[in-house]
Structure 1
Amino acid sequence: MKADESPSLFISQKDGAVYVVLSNLGNQSIKVRRDYLLDRLFGNLLFDIRRKGKTFPETAHINPEMPTESTYLVLAPGQIGGHVVDQWLIKAAYSLSSGCYTVSAVYRDSMAKDFSAFDGELRSNSIELCFKDANM
């Protein structure tokens, strides 16, 4: 696929929810994960979180089930797939304190080759997520 015909990843947020959308902009079908797991070992969705030059690595480990063929779906040209993540799950998974962060999504499936799926890495646009202390 040409660079302008590859899949793309986009995130947005509204009312405490972060929307992650994967679009197939190419002219061929692609196979992608349907579960969008936040897990550093078997998951396929990570967040790149930064604040004042500091990067925040994922600290949680969710222990998901291993993917199977049914974990995947085929996106035809022009189709989209996506997932909604509660921003508080992101806060907990990355041990974030109150304040504002620059957040982008990363789709990377370490199990893709086992299922003849899309095995590239996609990075989304960036958004700002802000968290307040519960006492404020």
Structure 2
Amino acid sequence: MTTPAQSALQTSVARLGYTGGQVIQEFGYDGDVDDDFRFAIEDQTGTDLEDEDYQEVADSSLIWWRKDDGDLVDAVVDALTNLGDGGSVVVLTLKAGRPGHVEASDIEEAATTAGLHTSGTVNACDDWTATKLVAPRTGRR
């Protein structure tokens, strides 16, 4: 039986586009991350999250980011290194009012500088908001 909290996590994970069989490379893991959210991703994909040292192709990159972590542009560019075609980067930031909160404008600027754009924000879990970054679509003629 699924609790309401678990159901909310599964919905958040699904809204980020995670599907079965995907490989997700995780960056910025620390003691403050939401393990239940991480487990919900692993349940949805059926795969374990890969760490920063992973060298194969990933379907998505997941970045846990705090205000004092350094340069977000560098982190996004690093997350693109192993990303396969059509892959996405998900940046998790602490919600407003929490120490380490990052402004949405900073995420937008980092995405643009890295050649990406934001594709939506999801209330990921209690303390974290997820912003999905994707490559711009090419125009169709």
Tell which structure's C-alpha radius of gyration is larger: 1
Q: Report the structure, 1 or 2, having the larger strand content.
A: 1
Q: Report the structure, 1 or 2, having the larger helix content.
A: 2
Q: Does the pair score TM above 0.5?
A: no
TM score, norm. by length of structure 1: 0.29
TM score, norm. by length of structure 2: 0.28
